[in-house]
């Protein structure tokens, strides 16, 4: 990770990143209450970890199989819409200032991820 990415990740926590990570973590905890929801909860935990350090990561929306599409539809109905809406609101607030625009763009990236988390691949950029 470069120095710029490290500084961006530290500032990110102050500009709503910690709040977003807590949202993903709580969604994961709620999903893990039932046995059927455990795979969804594990996905939420993975994204909560990524939301803590977003600078230096890229999300690839590759080929989604039929299983991913079904899980994404169920996910949107059960909690993805709320997480996406929260990320859009935080992104819009961050974009009100010039300094906050990079953080707002990260929030918008996570709003898209909140709508289609299954089939998405997270990749670290060097």
Q: Give the pLDDT score at 98.
A: 92
- For the segment 73-115, what is each residue's pLDDT rounded down to a tens digit? 888 888 889 889 989 999 999 999 999 998 999 899 989 988 8
- For the segment 13-43, what is each residue's pLDDT rounded down to a tens digit? 988 889 889 988 998 999 899 888 888 888 8
State how many domains the chain has: 1
Q: Give the pLDDT score at 29.
A: 94
Provide the domain limits for residue 113. 3-124
Q: Give the pLDDT score at 72.
A: 87
pTM across the whole model: 0.82
* DSSP structure class, residue 12: H
Cβ-defined contacts of 92-95 (< 8 Å, 24+): 93/16, 94/15, 94/16
């Amino acid at each position: 990770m470069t120095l710029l990415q490290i500084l961006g990740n530290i500032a990110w926590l102050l500009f709503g990143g910690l709040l977003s990570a807590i949202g993903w973590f709580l969604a994961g905890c709620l999903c893990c209450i039932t046995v059927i929801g455990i795979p969804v909860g594990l996905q939420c935990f993975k994204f909560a970890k990524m939301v803590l350090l977003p600078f230096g990561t890229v999300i690839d929306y590759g080929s989604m199989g039929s299983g991913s599409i079904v899980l994404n539809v169920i996910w949107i109905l059960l909690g993805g819409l709320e997480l996406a809406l929260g990320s859009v609101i935080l992104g819009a607030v961050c974009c009100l200032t010039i300094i906050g625009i990079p953080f707002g763009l990260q929030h918008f990236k996570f709003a898209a991820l909140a709508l289609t988390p299954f089939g998405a691949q997270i990749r670290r950029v060097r």
